[in-house]
Every structure is written in C-alpha cells, then in structure tokens.
Amino acid sequence: MTTDATIPARVDASSGDAALDAFIDALPKVELHVHLIGSASVPTVLELARRHPDGGVPTSEEELRAFYRFTDFPHFARVYTAVNALAREPEDVATLVLGLARDLAAQGARYAELQVTPYAHHIVGMPRREVTEALDLAARRAPEEFGVEMAYIFDIPGEYGVEAAEITVGHALEEPPAALVGFGIGGIEQERVHYRDAYRDAFTAARNAGLHSVPHGGEMTGPETIWEVVEAYGAERIGHGIACLQDERLVAHLRETRLPLDVCPTSNVCTGQVARIEDHPLPRLLEEGLFVTLNSDDPPMFDTTLAGEYRTVARVFGLGRGELAELARNGVTASYLPAERKRALLAEIEALEKATA
C-alpha cells in the first residue's frame, strides 16, 4: 500500500499481437501472489453484495463498476474495506476462493497460492474452525469445477501488531486448512518495525511447523525491509522485492541464492510505488539474473489479470515467447506444488513452446 494522494492511470494490457496473445492464453500459468479479498472480481462481489445488501456495496453491475473506478488512494482503501466486510460467513469465504479459481481458469492458470488474512475474519467474529472448513471446501471444489488447484498462505497484516501475529500463527498451527503451505506478512511495511519481535516469533513458530516463509518486502520501503525478511523471517520467497536494486550487495545475495521475487508490475503502478509502467524495474531485475515470477496481487481492483500481466510486460518491455515462457517456468519452480505436478506443468510449457516455434 501507499499513502499517495492519487491512483495512477490504469495500465493498458493489450499486447497488440494476436499470435502472442494466443500464446499467453495457452501458456500454463501459476499465480503465487494474490490476495483473497483483492482477488474478488465484479461477478464475485455482486454475488456477495446481493447476499449482504446492507454492506454498502452496489448490487448492480453498472454501479459496482463505477464503485471500482478509484479517484484517489483513500477511495481505494474504502472500497477494499467495504468488500472485506462482505466476507462475514464461511460461505462468503468459499465464494471468494471459487470466484478466483473460475477467473484463473479462464486465463489458462492451473494453480494458485492464495494469500488469506485470518485476522480479517477474526475481527468480524468468524470462528477460525469455520474459516478453515470454508477454505477446505473451496480447495476441494476448485479442481473439480474449474481445473485449478488452490493452496493457501496465511499472512499477518503488518500494521496490526502483536494481536494480529498471535491470531494468524495460532490459526495456522492449531486449525490449519489442509492446503496451507506458507506463512507471510503484508500490509504497511513502515509499521512492521514496531512489532519486529512478535513477527519474528510468529515466523519461527510457523517455520518450525513446516510452513514456508513468504513475506512481503521491499515494496514500499527500501532494501532494509528485504534484509529483514531474509535474515529474521527466513524468507524462501519474497513478495514484491523491487527495492532490492538499491543495494548491490543484496542483488548479489538474491542472485547467488536464487531467492524468488514475486513481482506484480501493475499493482506497483496503481499503488504509486512506480510512477509509470514504463519505469517498472522488471527488465533490470531480469538483466541482473534474479529469479522473478509474475503475479497480479489484487487484480480486479487494479483492472488487471494474471494473463494481463503477461500481456503488459510483452507490450511494454518487448518480451517474446521465450521470456514469457521462462517467467511461467519460474512460477512453477518457485511454487510449493509437489515435484510430480511441477514436472507435468514444466513439460506442458515446453510442449507449447515447441508447438508454436
């Protein structure tokens, strides 16, 4: 997030090349950085808004699309909060997960690691057992109904302190969904320093329980936040991480360790971390030999999709089929899919490249 006064203009995701667009659509993709509430597309929000008409969210498509046209960052924050308030019951949580699976299936995606914030459900009074049951139900139904496998990452909202850390790790360790694979932290990075010890303790407990460490870092602050998550949280993958380029020693460390960065270009523009898509550091990250995956973050709220991110980097930075396929391979490799599923998806990517060469 950012406190900038305005939301920059939307990013045009059209590549202008029909053959390349078809290749992107067919490319087997995984989504490693997407948030549960932020993933709610217009059809999903309409379903929830009509289920809870007292929530203050428009119940007609035309009005909802207007509601999603952000005028400034406070407006974006209000919309996000309003949508979050619609997730009141376990059925709502399952609706959100299955809505994302439906949307990803239409883009050729096969797997997602969805970031869920248990604290958000706790503060509206939803028992964690019910949240877990809803997540389990959705994870079972998503492959059957849409052909998309779902896994979960529980993340701490970093500005909410000790209670948020305790609630999140307690849920993760005591009543986890079956598909829980990771533990993270997001929110306003500048606020996390005040609760550093609590967050370190939470990550230590989660890692000791076998969960992967996938914190946000270096999105809205400098490289010091990335060093923090690497050294104190044992990061195995980093959300965003674009500020690493400010520190040559950090770049060398990330390159040597092959620590993946889950990069979300359109998000970085829409939240004001990057002024224009043309200024995004993705090309330099790749030139430095860093391990980059491509993701959408809060796609409907930023008027993007996972496939749209591939189109955007193709159009803006001139990436061709080989580079796009490599980004897709990186996503599969960096995921926490079982080895057999990784091999199958990597083989599909290779087969598509050969078929379209």
The CA distance from 305 to 350, in Å, is 23
In this structure, is residue 3 part of a structural domain? no
Please state, for a pLDDT cut of 70, what percent of the chain lies above it. Answer: 94
Give the range of the structural domain holding residue 333, as residue numbers without chain letter. 18-355
User: For 214-269, where are the E strands, in sequence order?
Assistant: 216-217, 238-240, 261-263
Tens of pLDDT, residues 323-338: 999 999 999 999 999 9
- For residue 42, the tally of other CB atoms under 10 A from its CB is 15
Q: Shortest CA distance to 210 belongs to which of 177, 242, 183, 178?
A: 183
Q: Is residue 258 part of a domain?
A: yes
Task: Give residue-wise pLDDT tens across range 247-286.
Answer: 999 999 999 999 999 999 999 998 889 999 999 999 999 9
Assign residue 308 the CATH number of its domain: 3.20.20.140
In a domain, 5, yes or no: no
* Count of domains for the chain: 1
Q: Would residue 10 count as lying in a domain?
A: no
Q: How far apart are the first and last CA of the chain?
A: 40
Q: Which residues of the chain have pLDDT under 70?
A: 1-16, 72-74
- Look at residue 13 in the predicted model and tell me its pLDDT: 65
> Considering the domain boundaries, does residue 12 fall inside one?
no
What is the model's pTM? Answer: 0.93
Cα–Cα distance for residue pair 323/30, rounded to 1 Å: 16
| Selected catalytic residue, list 31, 149, 219, 228 | 219
Q: State which amino acid sits at residue 172.
A: A
Residue 6 included in any domain:
no
Q: Based on the residue annotation, tell me whether 219 is a catalytic residue of this protein.
A: yes
The C-alpha atoms of residue 131 and residue 195 are separated, in whole angstroms, by: 26
Give domain status of residue 270, yes or no: yes
Backbone dihedral angles phi then psi of residue 208, each to the nearest 5 degrees: -65, -25
- Cα–Cα dist 186/335, whole Å: 19
Angle of the 128-146 helix axis to the 161-174 helix axis, nearest 10:
60
Within a domain: residue 11?
A: no
